[in-house]
Amino acid sequence: MPHGLSLHSNKAPAHPGLPFPADPARGFCVPAGTWLLYLPCTWSIGLAAEPGCLPDWRLLSLFGVGAVLMRGAGCTINDMWDRDYDRQVARTASRPLAAGDISTFQSLVFLGGQLSLALCVLLCLNYYSIILGAASLSLVVTYPLMKRITYWPQLVLGLTFNWGALLGWSAIKGSCEWSVCLPLYFAGVMWTMVYDTIYAHQDKKDDIMIGVKSTALQFKEDTKQWLSGFSLAMLLSLCVAGMNCNQTFPYYSAVAAVGAHLAHQIYTLDIDKPENCWKTFASNRTVGILLFIGIVLGNLWKQKDLKNVEDPSENR
């Protein structure tokens, strides 16, 4: 896949006796994509924690495993859909399917293994979350097709990558509190529009050559204005989510830090330098971690606020 988050390591030949690459890490992608899939899950799990409590570390670990597996499955699906495109782009021509190192059937077998393991993780959750998680599969499968029909495949990626913003809350509460989950989900989608548009600028010349679409090609020289709009929408949505679950000062401080980081990204971005685009894109892990830290500290601060409310009554 020439653009979007199909992030892979270098070429790894298939072992003749195995139905998958000799380097299985290829099917699980490099860390950047996994982090960006995982972090919205952590936000939701953190916001759903009880006041004064740390997030559920068992669920954080479980979602981490799920993120690795589903990111890997997404990479495998991308490569299956895009093998003909990948052969035409120097950066992606060495991927196993594009290079002819493995067959489509071998990829299907490997994908089946990835999805089976991911299903085991999903089945550890409550019934509501199992149904909600399964509902995301249609997005996972259809996303790679979007660049053939629309200049907005990044929007579909955002809808896919941020499903954990819904799933994390439901895994703890047994259902979604939509007044919190929807603005959190929307914030994640806007965040994806920022970082994946930046990522897509690396490959815009190849995309034009082979005839695929992206927001980078749609926005062109207006990219920074669009990114500013998406960033503002993200920050406002995070504020709405925070207000609807009674978040506190550390949370809003983290939102402000996220805003400053995004502003720095946009200001320093050079859309015509692929190396700058990659560096800026990769820095978004920091954005997600900053917000998670703010959520955790904000939740611990809630306990302090509760004590401040309770103490006067105890003195009467």
pLDDT at 309: 53
| Domain count along the chain | 1
Distances (CA, A) of 246 to 51, 61, 70, 176, 298: 10, 26, 32, 16, 9
**Tens of pLDDT, residue by residue, the chain (316 residues):** 444 554 333 333 333 333 444 333 333 444 788 999 999 999 999 999 999 999 999 999 999 999 999 888 888 887 887 777 777 776 677 777 777 778 888 888 888 888 889 899 999 999 999 999 999 989 988 888 898 899 999 999 999 999 999 999 999 999 999 999 999 999 999 999 999 999 999 989 888 888 889 999 999 999 999 999 999 999 999 999 999 999 999 999 999 999 999 999 999 999 999 999 999 999 999 999 999 999 999 999 987 665 665 554 444 4
What distance in Å separates the CA atoms of residue 195 and residue 280, rounded to the nearest whole number? 8
pLDDT at 172: 97
Residue 312 lies in a domain: no
The SS3 of residue 21 is: strand
pLDDT at 11: 35
Which residues does 299 contact at the CB level (< 8 Å), separation at least 6?
46, 47, 49, 51, 52, 53, 54, 55, 247, 248, 251
Q: What is the DSSP string of 59-123?
A: HHHHHHHHHHHHHHHHHHHHHHHHHHHHTTSTTTTTSHHHHTSS-HHHHHHHHHHHHHHHHHHHT
pLDDT at 306: 59
pLDDT at 219: 97
pLDDT at 102: 80
Residue 310 lies in a domain: no
Q: Check: CB of residue 21 under 8 Å from CB of residue 31.
A: no
Residue 3 lies in a domain: no
Find the domain containing 71 and state its range: 24-304
Q: Check: CB of residue 98 under 8 Å from CB of residue 92.
A: yes
Residue 276 lies in a domain: yes
What distance in Å separates the CA atoms of residue 12 and residue 80, rounded to the nearest whole number? 16
pLDDT at 305: 62
pLDDT at 2: 45
The β-bridge partners of 14 are 21
Residue 13 lies in a domain: no
Output the domain CATH number for residue 114: 1.10.357.140
C-alpha dihedral (39, 44, 50, 55), degrees to nearest 10: -20
pTM of the model: 0.84
Residue 1 lies in a domain: no
* pLDDT tens digits for range 28-69: 444 788 999 999 999 999 999 999 999 999 999 999 999 999
pLDDT at 161: 94
Residue 309 lies in a domain: no
pLDDT at 302: 87
Residue 38 lies in a domain: yes
